[in-house]
Structure 1
Amino acid sequence: MEISGLSGSSSYDQLQELQLQKEKEKKAAEQAAAESAQITASQTVTDAAATKTVLSTSQSVDTIEISQEGRAYQQKMQGPPPPKDSNVTETSSTDNTSSSTVLTSLTEEEISDLVDKGTISQAEANAELARRAALKEAQDSQETSNSGTEYTQIDEDE
């Protein structure tokens, strides 16, 4: 018995092709997001390195020493506000196409666990770790430029 008169693909085949196309588009979007995060992270590292280079190659400059209280206030004003209730705050858009996770208060191990669970992408984790490395390098550079400079206080009453 032979079936004749069938032409084209079945609706099942069309559904499979549509699903494959959607998966390809999703992978392309994820790859673009990962590349964007890597570019941002590399720019941060490059900016920190450029700042360090400028500081090390500049001519001698007058410097001032900032007190511990002043440094604490400066760090407080520059740092992002900590999450209120938990270590991870997640915000999703209405169509669940993007989510943003605050990683600043997590340890590297906790970030790794989030990547393993699929909560965040590897690119997001890499971007956060690169941001931390650049921040640490900038702080180390600032501490290096401030060390070795001791001033004696001159009493004006003398």
Structure 2
Amino acid sequence: MRILTDPATPARLALPQTVRVVGVVFLVVAALGKLPAVFAIPAGLGDMAVGVSAPFVTPRLARGTHWSGALSFNIMGLVDLVVAVSLGFLAGVGPSPLPHVTPTTAPVALLPLALIPTTAVPLAVALHLVSLARLRAAARTPATVGRAVAAAG
């Protein structure tokens, strides 16, 4: 539990999101005609945006700057994951996929792509949620609370 209270924890939680630049795989597979663009474009571009922005967020957090960009980064990362999973499910192979697209997202249920929704997505969600909780806790430090009370009084 001590590691979560370490001031460098938010930076440690943001850095692994850099790996999400591999979201370009969704775009490549869609270009090969194996995934629907309605899923691959938002999922691929969203993952790439989060992955590219992670190295810019990490140094600021490592310096102890609880900068509002960290909040935006984590929210953007969570929204991307929700959108990607939702579109992947809706454009899937169920009895009535919505929207009706060809091809479907069936390749995401096969290895190696199946590792993304089964392991990478839950890990990324956990990192974002713990990071948000840590940022919230840091915002409630006694110095911050004292300044807020002084400003209100």
TM-score interval (norm. to shorter): 0.3 to 0.5
Higher relative contact order (CA 8 A, sep 6+): 1
> Where is the helix percentage greater, Structure 1 or Structure 2?
2
TM-score where L is the length of structure 1: 0.32
Q: Which of the pair has more CA radius of gyration?
A: 1
